Amino acid sequence: MFFPQLFNIGARPSSQDFSQWISSMSGGTSRAGTLVTKETAMANAAFHACVTLLAESVAQLPCELYRRTKDGGREKATNHSLYDVIKYQPNRKDTAFEFYEQGQGALATEGNDFSLIERNGAGFVTELFHINPQKVRVLKGPDLLPYYDIQGIDGVLPMRMVHHVKAFSFDGYLGQSPLQTNKDVIGLALATEEHASAVFSRGTTMSGVIERPHTAGTIKTQEGIDRILSKFAERNSGLANLFSVGMLQEGMQYKQLSMDNEKAQLIQSRNFNVVDICRLFKIPPHMVQHLDKASFNNIEHQGLQFVTNTVLPWLKRREAAMMRDLLLPEERKDLYIEFNVSSLMRGDQKSRYESYAIGRQWGFLSVNDIRRMENMPPIAGGEKYLTPLNMTDSSTMQKNTDATPQQLKAIEEILCQA
């Protein structure tokens, strides 16, 4: 039985206490002076692109429950209640894509993904409901297991009632949010964006100046200065007056102003911020439309590295948490959960067909195996495997070096006829 007093948390925290706890766990003010929260970070184009790319990449992959067979193979456990929950519809309102997309988005921004587990009388999972990470406090119980204090739900829930996927964690109870661990990186990008916006909205940079010689006298009124500038701009600016010719009197001269080096490096700073945020999520920059260093020679390999070095660790983290939280202990020997990443590993049509030809030639792919990978229906007789005729066991070759009696007799007849 669970006793809240064992946690030494006293009375249930108020909404203000929850807000203070959440603000201490994610984000804050960066050294650039910008406030880093989930909302401000997602307003940055590079951060938004990285988070949604990860979320969509995970959500598009089919997640299935498998049962190990006696011959060492596997089969889909379609008769298990969990199969439909994790593959098709985790709850009555969300599709599987929406559920995994929302969960991965929470992992990438908050460092934690929480879901309430609904079970039937036999203990099997029937539904999963996503919870806003900002409404959850993770507590360590006297048995060293995590317990969950959820705003809006009476009592503290044990881990069997909450599905918790953690990002990188220092204590093993709560995942670290990138808004907390890397707020200066994100804050610098936000500060650069604010500075760039200020240059255009409140900046005093001029395209040029009109110089009037001292001998021509001084224009006495501001209205006179404004009249000269407005007439000059009206006559020589805009698309309609492109490449027009202007004339200045009284010794006036027009000098065009060029952008100084400090402002010219603003574009370089913005580009570096994109790469820095991509580095934070381990995403190749070309996948968020930053194509400065991309080429046809390396872009395919970077796509494969994205799958193996970026997406796959997130999938393994999620699979392990699902195995722990959604399967009963006695089921884990025979059942396991896996995301199918083959759709992310698919190359172009020519490369796929070449690999199919190799697999068919060397006998480890049948016609129906290939058709299944191409989402085509099987055909009659398509389960046969080919065997290369020039490949045989070397021990068999040694045994067949001696001629049989029938072969010797045939040779004698040929020699006698000669």
Contact between 177 and 110 under an 8 Å Cβ cutoff? The reply is: yes
Q: Are strands 112-119 and 162-166 parallel, antiparallel or unpaired?
A: antiparallel
Domains of the chain, residue spans: 1-203+267-345, 206-213+224-238+246-258, 347-418
pLDDT, residue 31, reads 86
Give CA–CA dist 376/372, Å, rounded.
Answer: 6
Give CA–CA dist 56/310, Å, rounded.
Answer: 13
Give CA–CA dist 187/179, Å, rounded.
Answer: 9
The closest of 175, 156, 111, 137 to 18, measured between CA atoms, is 137
Q: Which residue has the tokens 């970070």?
A: 41
206-215, 261-270, 380-389: segment of lowest average pLDDT: 261-270
340 has pLDDT over 70: yes
Give CA–CA dist 390/399, Å, rounded.
Answer: 17
Q: How confident is the model at residue 234 (pLDDT cuts 50, 70, 90)?
A: confident
183 has pLDDT over 70: yes
Average pLDDT over residues 25-37: 81
106 has pLDDT over 60: yes
24-38, 77-91, 191-205, 313-327: segment of lowest average pLDDT: 191-205
Average pLDDT over residues 384-395: 72
Average pLDDT over residues 1-30: 54
